[in-house]
Each structure stands twice: as structure tokens, then as C-alpha cells.
Amino acid sequence: MAAIPNEERLFSLVLALLATETGLTKADVLSSVQGYRQRYRPGGDNASLERQFERDKEDVRELGVPLESIELPADQGAAQYTRYRIPKGAYDLPADVAFTPDEVALLNLAALAWREGSLSGESRRALLKLRSLGVDVQEPLLGYAPRIRARDTAFGPLSTAIERHRVVRFSYLKPGDTRARVRTLSPLALVQFGGRWHVWGLEERSGAERTFLLSRIVGTVEETGASFEPPEGDASAAALGSLREVAQRNVAVLEVQQDSDAASRLGSRGEVRGDGTVALHYADLHLLADEIASYGPEVRVLEPGELADAVLERLTAVAEAHRG
């Protein structure tokens, strides 16, 4: 059975939780939703799948989707009866957002890039199974099957290599370097962290675990012809755990302009302290510097110094590019 890509599983989860007003239990999700049901064992050991669902919930919320849990008074303390849903009203466009006729025309053209105008065959089967459970599907579910994949070009080859247990080679450009370096990797997992895709595996040269950001892979990903034996355990969990450990060690303290776009975005991800500053954990200094620089005068970095220097470097480069 072909492996279900991570982003397809997350997409199917959002789709299913949008489609119900009353919510789905964990058992409903695992037995019915694309990406889970293929590995679900009725009456068997589904501990690994349940851990996957817990991680997916975090990823969905990190993407800004308002996933909520509902626990009835009579079922308090019984996790198996907790229901999950995405309230449609909380995920709709704000009431004051409107589109001009030209904008509507452009949106209609964009919709042509969505296949079938509705659901894929797999999603239809999952929807039928949800209905068979007695779930009242409220959402029309139009246009939710994208043909254009919004992900890095390295994703497909890496996903295939992981499934086939093949060693890969690619060129990787680190921030600050002028030339890409060739990396050889036994890829073990593709994970999304902080809204970006990463590949995690064992680097051939050092034999150590390494994580690479897909957007920094330049050129093509090639299989070397060599294969590897994957280690036991949940590779995706290990990859995410490694990234979370890095993020936990790194904290940026930011002075953010009140009622600004930066305050809304950064404040929702970090801890707003009593003095008004925002403490934000991060895994990649350069990515955070790119983001902070994009806010211009709305953000000032207080700590750490190397992050402040990186932001200043970017702002200086912008000023130099527009000089004269």
C-alpha cells in the first residue's frame, strides 16, 4: 500500500473536522479519515497512530486552524469520548472582507486549478464512511482537492526515497554561504515544523542525525543507488522532537509595536510578557531574521545579539538596494 503523504493526511483531517458540527472522536478519525484509516487496526494496537494524531493536532493548530476539543460533562476524564471539530464560523472570512468583480473573476480562474471541483475518490469514500457513522456533514466541501501542490520541489523525490529506503544526494545552500555543498543522506522522515518542510535522516559523512530545510535544497534530489535499513521507532516523532528541542533552547525577546501586524502574528506564537515584550522560541535564526526584517519598524530585537545583527544585515541590504 502506498504511503499517504503527510500534507494529504493533515488536509484530510481538516476537511473531516470542518464537515461536522458535533465533532469526531479519536476513534472516528483514526478509522475513517484518509491517512489514518489505512493503518487503523479495529480492536488492535493503535498507539503509534494515536501519537500521530496528537502531533497532527499540534501541526494543524500551528498553521492557525482553530481546532477545538469538546468534552461533555458526563464524559469528563474519559479521553476516548472527547470530540474534535473546526467550527465553521471561526474559519470563515471576516464579515467585512469583500471582493470586487475583478477579484472574483481571478478567484474563479484560480479555482480551475482544483481538480474535479470537489472531492477526490479517496475523500468521497472517507466522507461516506463518516456518514455511515451517523456524522451529519454540514459543509458542502466544494473545491477542496488541489492539483497544484504548494510545497518544495524536493518533497516528491525525498518522499519516494523514504518509502524505498534509498540514499539520496542533493546540493544544500546554507545561509551566508556563496556556494552549495553536496550532502548525502539516508532520509528517514519528512516533517512540517513552523510552517515549513524539513527532511530528517542520517548524513553519510558524519553518520549523525541531520535536519535540512527543503527550501534550501538547490537543484535536483538524486538517488545514489545505495539503500539503507531504517531504524525502529517513529521517525517523524523523532524528527519533530529534535526540532522542538532546538526551538526550546533558542528564545528571542522582541519589542513589538502595539496593534500592528507584527504584534498580531508574533504575539499569537510567543509569550507576551508583562512589560509588553514578546518571547518567541525558534529553531532557525535565519528564517526568523527574514520574518522580523519583513515587519520593518514594527519589531526591534532585544535578544539575542546575533539575531539583532542578522535582522540589521537584511534591513541594510534592502536600504542599499534602494539607494538613489
By DSSP bridging, strand 217-227 and strand 166-172 are antiparallel
Q: Are residues 13 and 83 in the same domain?
A: yes
Q: Is the pLDDT of residue 324 over 70?
A: no
Q: pLDDT band at residue 286, thresholds of 50, 70 and 90?
A: very high
- CA–CA distance, 230 with 236 (Å, rounded to integer): 12
Q: Is the pLDDT of residue 277 over 90?
A: yes
Tens of pLDDT, residues 250-264: 999 999 998 888 888
Q: Are residues 113 and 212 in the same domain?
A: no
Q: Is the pLDDT of residue 133 over 50?
A: no
Task: Please check whether residue 241 lies inside any domain of the structure.
Answer: no
Q: Is the pLDDT of residue 101 over 50?
A: yes
Q: Is the pLDDT of residue 183 over 50?
A: yes
Are the CB atoms for 157 and 65 separated by under 8 Å?
no
Tens of pLDDT, residues 20-49: 878 899 999 999 888 898 888 888 888 888
Task: Please check whether residue 138 lies inside any domain of the structure.
Answer: no
The cell for 82 is 472527547
- CA–CA distance, 270 with 274 (Å, rounded to integer): 13
Q: Which secondary structure element, helix H or strand E, spans residue 278, and what is its range?
A: strand 278-281
Task: Please check whether residue 291 lies inside any domain of the structure.
Answer: yes
- CA–CA distance, 197 with 6 (Å, rounded to integer): 10
Mean pLDDT to the nearest integer, 154-179: 91
The secondary structure of 34-84 as a DSSP string is TTTTTT--TTS--HHHHHHHHHHHHHHHHTT---EEE--GGGTT-GGG-EE
Q: Which secondary structure element, helix H or strand E, spans residue 300, and what is its range?
A: strand 299-303
| Number of domains, the chain | 3
Q: Are residues 174 and 292 in the same domain?
A: no
Burial zone of 74 (CB within 10 Å; 0-12 exposed, 13-18 middle, 19+ buried): exposed
Task: Please check whether residue 240 lies inside any domain of the structure.
Answer: no
Tens of pLDDT, residues 187-208: 999 988 887 889 999 998 888 9
Q: Are residues 69 and 30 in the same domain?
A: yes
Q: Which secondary structure element, helix H or strand E, spans residue 294, and what is its range?
A: helix 285-294
Coil, strand, or helix at residue 157? helix
Q: Are residues 59 and 93 in the same domain?
A: yes
Which strands sit side by side in the sheet containing 209-213, from one edge to the other? 209-213, 196-203, 181-193, 166-172, 217-227
Lowest-pLDDT choice from 10-24, 46-60, 121-135: 121-135
Q: Are residues 38 and 98 in the same domain?
A: yes
Q: Which domain holds residue 211?
A: 155-231
Task: Please check whether residue 33 lies inside any domain of the structure.
Answer: yes
Domain harbouring 213, CATH code: 2.30.30
What pLDDT shows up at residue 8? 80
Task: Please check whether residue 145 lies inside any domain of the structure.
Answer: no
Task: Please check whether residue 174 lies inside any domain of the structure.
Answer: yes
Q: Are residues 191 and 115 in the same domain?
A: no
Q: Are residues 227 and 260 in the same domain?
A: no
Residues whose CB is less than 8 angstroms from the CB of residue 186 and which lie 6 or more positions away in sequence, other chains included: 165, 167, 201, 202, 204, 228
Q: Are residues 160 and 113 in the same domain?
A: no
Q: pLDDT band at residue 149, thresholds of 50, 70 and 90?
A: very low
The cell for 157 is 523525490
What pLDDT shows up at residue 216? 94
Q: pLDDT band at residue 70, thresholds of 50, 70 and 90?
A: confident
pTM, to two decimals: 0.56
- CA–CA distance, 302 with 308 (Å, rounded to integer): 7
Mean pLDDT to the nearest integer, 234-263: 91
Q: Are residues 101 and 11 in the same domain?
A: yes
Q: Is the pLDDT of residue 135 over 60?
A: no
Q: pLDDT band at residue 119, thresholds of 50, 70 and 90?
A: very low
Task: Give the number of C-alpha atoms closer than 13 A to the C-alpha of residue 142, restricted to the C-beta side.
Answer: 4
Task: Please check whether residue 221 lies inside any domain of the structure.
Answer: yes
The cell for 293 is 526584517
Q: Is the pLDDT of residue 123 over 60?
A: no
Residue at which a domain ends, from 231, 258, 282: 231
Residue at which a domain ends, from 97, 132, 167: 132
Q: pLDDT band at residue 311, thresholds of 50, 70 and 90?
A: very high
Mean pLDDT to the nearest integer, 176-184: 90
Burial zone of 289 (CB within 10 Å; 0-12 exposed, 13-18 middle, 19+ buried): buried
Q: How long, in residues, is the chain?
A: 324
Q: Are residues 25 and 109 in the same domain?
A: yes
Query: For the chain, what percent of residues have pLDDT higher than 90?
Result: 35
Q: Are residues 20 and 66 in the same domain?
A: yes
Query: For the chain, what percent of residues have pLDDT higher than 70?
Result: 77
